[in-house]
Copies of this chain bind each other. A is one copy, B any other.
């Protein structure tokens, strides 16, 4: 064990993440242990805990960076941008990052969909993201309730777009799905009939 301390393992985080996803899909999230994840990745438990606090963290560690990216994009949107356009542009920027990891995103989504506790955690993350976006809009001078409504609308658009992107066999990219989903939200809130896509 002493020999392991500080040993550099190439792409340890990525290997652990991949091993964890494979095992979560094969055996289920609850049934998978940290030891099994480390073994599958050819690494030690000690190395696992250098990167992740627990096995759930493997699925959620990227959310902080995603939130930073979103809030930065909302803050730096042109002054002239309408709040919904600032939020949509931010979501599309985040979507472009996720697009690069489509297969990972699909696998992660399948794992979360199969576990009620993970779904709740995802829900809580999205709610706190909506609340952070509303705060960023208020910083831009948007008043309430417009700030919260815009943020909630943005998160709803993102969820629906993300679901379509991960589930469908279509080759549409995530930023495109987000734009389409926003148009659909506009149509449904206006009470217009939504054309089949």
Contact residues on A (Cβ < 8 Å of other chain), bracket: 35 or more
A4 within 8 A of B: no
Taking the nearest CB of chain B, how far is it from the CB of A134, in angstroms? 10
**Which of B124, B150, B181, B190 has a CB less than 8 Å from the CB of A123?**
B124
Secondary structure of the A side of the interface? helix
On whether the beta carbons of B120 and A181 are closer than 8 Å, the reply is no
Q: Which A residues fall within an 8 A CB radius of B?
A: 82-85, 120, 123-124, 127, 143, 145-146, 148-150, 152-153, 156-157, 159-160, 163-164, 181-182, 184-194, 196
Q: A83-B191, A84-B188, A123-B127 are in contact. List 9 more A-B contacts (CB 8 A).
A: A82-B191, A82-B193, A84-B189, A145-B160, A149-B188, A153-B156, A156-B156, A185-B189, A189-B189
